[in-house]
Structure 1
Amino acid sequence: MKDKKILTRIKDLRDSIGKQVKLMEVCGTHTVAIFKQGIRDVIPKEISLLSGPGCPVCVTAIKDVDVAISIARMNGNILCTFGDMMRVPGSKQSFFQAQAEGANIRIVYSPMDALKLALNNKDTKIIFFATGFETTSPSIAGTLYEAEKAGAENFYIYSTHKLVPPALKALLDSGEVRIDGLILPGHVCTIAGCAPYEFLASDYGVPSVITGFEGEDILRGIMMLLEQIAAKKPSTEIQYVRAVTKEGNKKALSILNEYFEPCDANWRGIGVIPQ
């Protein structure tokens, strides 16, 4: 019944706006959720949902995959990574293909598994290939803290972490896509909060809503975006209030800032995005 009321409100708002509305879901997790839950089938056809930059694995640069494979082929090195990186292609091979030819690449379920491997194999260099947006990067920082405390001098991080706000700025600066509103990733914002995204409204006049991943979350996020568009009052709102605060996770941000600093990043399919 809640969903029906939200859908009625969405239709009424779209009718009041009176034109095609283009919304972009920034994160690949939302793209999958929208597809699985049939969101496009229940909203008015005059509302387009565009897929944004995607997931951090998908945008990992070809060069980074190539370099990591070269590292894994060196004697005395073990490259560790998450399983979802194994099939991502480099210029010639994926990690799976390189592993089949003898490159020392191992799948781990957390960076702490890689650290444990380093502590048990002190004569071997253990390199953890770290991908992720703000959601997962604090756990890597926490692992570096533990490695430092344990004196694991053979433990290394190959960081391909990405920040979401610079990618959105680059997208809006390009002028290639007309976007009426942005569905922002709820899990990223549990760490980062909403402050890093407030420039979307203040500098570009683009409404945005930090949204959860259930069907009702996404529909409410769309409704809130349409309300901003109809009122011509862009802002950065939080739909996912059960997990996201304006300030984000201060402890996670503190350890992240202690071990990492922003830099320009190479995004597959986009190019180098300045930080």
Structure 2
Amino acid sequence: MSPSSSRKRKNRPGKSFLPYEAEIIRGPQAKQAVDSLDPTQYLLNPRDRAGPSGLIQWNSADTHTPAAFPSDADDFASNSRDKAANKPVWVDRYDARLLLESLPKLTSTFSPPSPTGWSDLPSDTEDTFFFSPPEADDYRQEKRRKLMDQAREERLKARRAEDGEPEEEDIWGGSDEEPDEAQRLLMERTAASVAAGRNPAQLEMRILANYGSDKRFAFLRGRWKHAWTAMKRKAEKDLEAKSAAPSGLGNLADYGDSDEDEDEAEAPQTELAARQARAKAWAESRRASKANT
């Protein structure tokens, strides 16, 4: 750009910039100016007024914005009635609400409670809403255990119906039913093994999955509930007492309990071998019956 062209641009009239409403107020007058634009400070406290107000009363009955088109006269008349019914609004002169013909009505809407309630959630959500995390985990494990028991019973019934075997009645007593001596010994050994495991709940579920069809392990499915709960608590207390015993007597205690540990270790193996033998005999009898037919 040549110097002459730049000089011509500078000499053009009407191209200068002027500030518009740019006035900085400092000192005590600044607070007075701010209060004049605050309705809570200026309008609600008339005794504290120290100068003119900078607010405009909008939406009053005698002030309005002319309608943009003649056909809007009816709408404007209804808006004027709405304005008279509403409370006045105080704004400053730069407020964008001055461009509106009427303010929208703010009505509080009350929505009725949903009739569905908990119907759109899982069936047990309401039961576990106030449960703590451990209680919720126990509830889910118990529910999973019941589902496994139900599925196992259905499979056994279907297999008996297929083989034509009559169903054996296994009548359970109440939760306060007491087991016999042999059943009690098995429950005590199982409770000790479960308490000594790293994850007792998972170990109990594994035993139930392996021996759930055995009637002797019906206590894992809810039979003899009170006795089984008491045995588990006793096994946990015995384990805590054993771990808290003095270290000087620890070797002697381990030496004295070695035979019992070996017996407890051999018991599941013996039961597994007996179970495999029964399964093998049942399979042979089934093959023989099919061959005869």
Higher RCO (Cα < 8 Å, 6 or more apart): 1
Q: TM-score range by the shorter chain?
A: under 0.3
Query: Could you state the TM-score of these two structures normalised by the residue count of structure 2?
Result: 0.21
TM-score normalized with structure 1 length = 0.22
Q: Which has a greater percent of helix?
A: 2
Larger radius of gyration: 2
Structure with the larger strand share: 1
